[in-house]
A and B are shown apart, each in its own frame.
Chain A
Amino acid sequence: MSLHKQIYNVGVPEYWQTVMPPLQHSLVGDAVMMNQFEPLVGRGTQGMLVPLAAKSWEFSQDKRILKFHIDTSRRFSDGSSLYAEDFKRSWEDGLRLQPKSSNSSLTDALANLNGFDQFRGKEGIAGIKVVSSDILELEFDKPVRNALEHLSGVRYAAYKIIDGKPVGTGPYVMAEENQVLTLRVNMYYAGKAPALQNVKIVAVPNKEALKKLQDGSIDAFLFAEVAGITGCSDGKLKQIKCAIGQEGTHLIVTLNGMSGRFFSDSLHRRAFQSLLLRRLAEPKNSWPQQLLVDGFFLDPQSFLKFQAGRLTESEAQAIIDKGAPHIQRFVQATQAHPLELSQHWDWLIDFLVSKGVKVGVPFEAKDRLSMTYKTFKPDILLMGASVSDADPDGLYHLLGRNGAIFSPMWERPGVTEGMESGRQLLDPAELPKHYQDVSRKILEEVPYVHVGYLSRSIAYNSEKFKISESVRSRSDDPGIRLFEPAE
Chain B
Amino acid sequence: MISINEWVNDNARRPIIRLLVLYVVAQVLYFGYLTYTRYTNLLARAALAAESISLGVAQSNRPLIESSVLALLGDSNVASVALCAGAIDTISYPQSAGGYCRQGGTDKLHWKIIKPLVGGQGLILLIGLSPSVTLFPLLAILTITLLISFAIVSNTLKISKKLEMDVFAPLYAGFNNESAFHIKELEEFRQQNAAHLTLVKDKAAADAMVVMAAQVAHDIRSPLAALGAAAKGLELLPVEQRSLIEGSVSRMQGIADDLLQRYRAPSAGQAAAKTAIYALGGLIEQVLSEKRLQHKDKTGLKIEFNASPVEIKALVEPKELQRLLSNLINNSVEAFAGPGKVEVSLSALDGKVLIEVKDNGKGIPPEILAKLGRKGETHGKAGGTGLGLYHARVSVESWGGSLKITSKAGKGTTVSITLPAAARPAAGLRAALLDDDPLVHMNWRLAAKAAGAWLQSFKTPQEFTVAAETLPRDIPLYIDSDLGNDIKGEEIAKDLREKGFTDITMATGHGAEKFSHLPWLKVAGKEPPWA
With A46-B70, A244-B94, A472-B73 as given contacts, are A307 and B62 in contact (CB-CB < 8 Å)? yes
Distance of A141 Cα from B70 Cα, bound (Å): 34
Q: Is A45 an interface residue (CB 8 A)?
A: yes
Checking A432, A470, A473 against B66 with a beta-carbon cut-off of 8 angstroms, the contacting residue is A473
Distance of A246 Cα from B83 Cα, bound (Å): 13
Checking A46, A243, A246, A432 against B60 with a beta-carbon cut-off of 8 angstroms, the contacting residue is A432
CB distance from A433 to the nearest CB of B (A): 9
Cβ–Cβ contact B93 & A246, under 8 A: yes
Cβ–Cβ contact A429 & B63, under 8 A: no
* Total A-B residue contacts, Cβ distance less than 8 Å: 73
Cβ–Cβ contact B70 & A45, under 8 A: yes
Distance of A471 Cα from B67 Cα, bound (Å): 14
With A308-B60, A432-B59 as given contacts, are A294 and B97 in contact (CB-CB < 8 Å)? yes
1/0 per position for A150-165, CB-CB distance to B under 8 A?
Answer: 0000000000000000
Total B residues in contact with A, Cβ cutoff 8 Å: 22
Q: Which residue of B lies closest to A312 (CB)?
A: B121
1/0 per position for B68-93, CB-CB distance to A under 8 A?
Answer: 00110110000000010000001101
1/0 per position for B45-65, CB-CB distance to A under 8 A?
Answer: 000000000001101111101
Q: Is A431 an interface residue (CB 8 A)?
A: yes
Distance of A246 Cα from B56 Cα, bound (Å): 17
Cβ–Cβ contact B62 & A304, under 8 A: yes
Chain B residue contacts of A432, Cβ below 8 A: 59-60
Distance of A429 Cα from B55 Cα, bound (Å): 11
Chain B residue contacts of A471, Cβ below 8 A: 94
Cβ–Cβ contact B66 & A390, under 8 A: yes
Distance of A233 Cα from B80 Cα, bound (Å): 15
1/0 per position for A301-335, CB-CB distance to B under 8 A?
Answer: 00011111110000000000000000000000000
Cβ–Cβ contact B90 & A305, under 8 A: yes
Cβ–Cβ contact B59 & A429, under 8 A: yes
Q: Is A413 an interface residue (CB 8 A)?
A: no
Q: How large is the interface on A (under 10, 10 to 19, 20 to 34, 35 or more residues)?
A: 20 to 34
Chain A residue contacts of B95, Cβ below 8 A: 233, 244-246, 294-295, 455
Distance of A309 Cα from B74 Cα, bound (Å): 28
Distance of A234 Cα from B95 Cα, bound (Å): 12
For the residues of A in contact with B, the DSSP-based class is loop
Q: Is A191 an interface residue (CB 8 A)?
A: no
Within 8 A of B (CB), among A60-89: none
Chain A residue contacts of B71, Cβ below 8 A: 46
Distance of A289 Cα from B188 Cα, bound (Å): 86
Chain B residue contacts of A1, Cβ below 8 A: none
Chain A residue contacts of B73, Cβ below 8 A: 46, 470, 472
Checking B65, B74, B93 against A306 with a beta-carbon cut-off of 8 angstroms, the contacting residue is B65
Chain B residue contacts of A309, Cβ below 8 A: 60
Distance of A308 Cα from B71 Cα, bound (Å): 21
With A46-B67, A47-B70 as given contacts, are A306 and B97 in contact (CB-CB < 8 Å)? no
1/0 per position for B472-515, CB-CB distance to A under 8 A?
Answer: 00000000000000000000000000000000000000000000
Checking B59, B91, B94 against A305 with a beta-carbon cut-off of 8 angstroms, the contacting residue is B91
1/0 per position for A6-47, CB-CB distance to B under 8 A?
Answer: 000000000000000000000000000000000000000111
Chain A residue contacts of B62, Cβ below 8 A: 304-308, 390-391
Q: Is A336 an interface residue (CB 8 A)?
A: no
Distance of A233 Cα from B97 Cα, bound (Å): 8
Within 8 A of A (CB), among B143-188: none
- A residues contacting B by CB (< 8 A) are 45-48, 233-234, 243-246, 294-295, 304-310, 389-391, 428-429, 431-432, 455, 470-473
For this complex, 20 residue pairs linking A to B, each with C-beta atoms less than 8 Å apart, are A45-B70, A46-B70, A46-B71, A47-B63, A47-B67, A233-B96, A233-B97, A243-B94, A245-B94, A305-B62, A305-B91, A306-B57, A308-B60, A308-B61, A308-B62, A389-B63, A390-B62, A390-B63, A390-B66, A431-B60
